[in-house]
Chain A
Amino acid sequence: MSFPKKPGGKALDVLQNLPRITLANLRPEPGARKTEKRRGRGQHGGNRSGRGHKGERQRGNRPRLGFEGGQTPFYLSIPKYGYNEGHSRRPQYQPLSLKRLQYLIDLGRVDPTQPIDLTQLVNARGVTIQPLKRDYGVQLVDEGADIFAAKINIEVQRASEGVVAAIERNGGVITTGFYDPISLGILIKPVPFFLRGQPIPKRMLPGEDMVPYYTDAENRGYLADPEKIQQARLALAKKYGYILPDISKDELYHMLSMRKDVRQIFFGLAPGWVVSMPEKKILKTTDEKLLKYYSS
Chain B
Amino acid sequence: MAASMLCKRTAMLCRTLKGLSCSKTVLSANSQSGFLLQAASYNPRPLKLNLHEPYVPDKDSEKTPEWQKTAKYDRKLFGRYGSASGIDPASLWPSHEQLDKIIAEEREWHPPLEVMLKNIEAREKQETEKRLAKERLLAANMAKMPKMVADWRKEKRETKQKLKEEKARRAKLLAEARERFGYAVDPRSPKFLEMVAEIEKEEKKKKKLMKRRLKEEQVVAPVTPPAASS
Listed stretches A28-36, A74-82, A232-240, A272-280; interface member: A272-280
- Nearest Cβ distance between residue B166 and chain A, in whole angstroms? 53
Residue of B nearest to A290 (CB): B93
Q: Please, which residues of chain B bring their CB within 8 A of the CB of A251?
A: 28, 31-32
Q: Is A160 an interface residue (CB 8 A)?
A: no
Contact flags B66-109 to A (C-beta < 8 A → 1, else 0): 00000000111111111110000110111010010011000000
Contact of A197 among B23, B36, B78, B112 (CB under 8 A): B78
Specify the chain A residue showing the minimal Cβ separation from B34.
Answer: A113
B42 touches A124 (CB 8 A): yes
What's the nearest-Cβ distance from chain A to residue B134, in Å? Answer: 23
A274 touches B89 (CB 8 A): yes
Within 8 A of A (CB), among B24-41: 24, 27-28, 30-32, 36-41
How big is the B interface, by class? 35 or more
Closest partner residue, chain A, to B91 (CB atom): A197
B142 CB to nearest chain A CB (Å): 32
| Known interface pairs A12-B6, A211-B116, A215-B117; A108-B40 also in contact (CB < 8 Å) | yes
Would you call B93 and A205 a contact (CB within 8 A)?
A: no
Bound: A200/B8 CA distance, A: 49
CB of A196 within 8 A of CB of B75, answer: yes
Cα–Cα distance between A289 and B89 once the two chains are bound (Å): 17
Contact of B99 among A16, A108, A293 (CB under 8 A): A293
A278-B84 contact given A204-B110, A208-B119, A211-B113, CB 8 Å threshold: yes
Closest A-chain residue to B79, C-beta based? A197
CB nearest neighbor in B for A281: B82
Q: A113-B27, A276-B82 are in contact. Are A285 and B10 (CB under 8 A)?
A: no
| Mask of B42-78 contacts with A, CB within 8 angstroms, 1/0 | 1010010101000000000000000000000011111
Query: B171 near A: Cβ within 8 Å?
Result: no
Interface members, chain A 127-164 (any B CB < 8 Å): 149-151
Q: How far is the CA of A223 from the CA of B74 in the complex (A)?
A: 37
User: Are B27 and A278 in contact, with the CB atoms below 8 A?
Assistant: no
In the complex, are the beta carbons of A150 and B93 less than 8 A apart? no
Most buried by A among B27, B41, B77, B96: B27
Q: Closest residue of chain B to A114, judged by CB?
A: B31
Are A277 and B10 within 8 A (Cβ)?
A: no
Min distance, Cβ B37 to any Cβ of chain A, angstroms: 7
Which of the residues B32, B42, B92, B96 comes within 8 Å of A274, measured between beta carbons? B92
Contact B24 A106 (CB under 8 A): yes
Whether A198 is near chain B, meaning CB under 8 Å from some CB there, is yes
Q: Given known contacts A113-B31, A198-B75, A278-B51, is B10 in contact with A205 (CB within 8 Å)? A: no
Q: Bound state CA distance, A111 and B44, in angstroms?
A: 16
User: Is B75 a contact of A150 with CB atoms below 8 Å?
Assistant: no
Interface digits, A261-296 against B, CB 8 Å rule (1 contact, 0 not)?
A: 000000000001010111101010101011001000
Q: Is B120 an interface residue (CB 8 A)?
A: yes
Contacts of A106 in B (CB 8 A): 20, 23-24
Inter-chain CA distance A208–B122, complex, in Å, is 12
Return chain A residues, CB-CB under 8 Å to B41: 108
The residues of B that contact A7 with a CB separation of less than 8 Å are: 7, 10-11, 14
B223 at the interface (CB under 8 A from A): no
A113 touching B36 by the CB < 8 A rule? yes
Instruction: A12-B10, A197-B78 given; name 9 further pairs at CB < 8 Å.
Output: A108-B41, A196-B75, A208-B119, A211-B117, A276-B79, A278-B51, A278-B81, A283-B92, A290-B94
The 7 closest A-B pairs by CB, nearest first: A197-B79, A197-B75, A108-B38, A279-B82, A278-B82, A197-B78, A195-B79
Binding site for B on A (CB under 8 A): 7-8, 12, 15-16, 106-109, 111-113, 123-124, 149-151, 191, 194-199, 204-205, 208, 211-212, 215, 223, 251-252, 272, 274, 276-279, 281, 283, 285, 287, 289-290, 293
Measured CB to CB, the residues of B under 8 A from A are 3, 6-7, 10-11, 14, 20, 23-24, 27-28, 30-32, 36-42, 44, 47, 49, 51, 74-84, 89-90, 92-94, 96, 99, 102-103, 110, 112-113, 116-117, 119-120
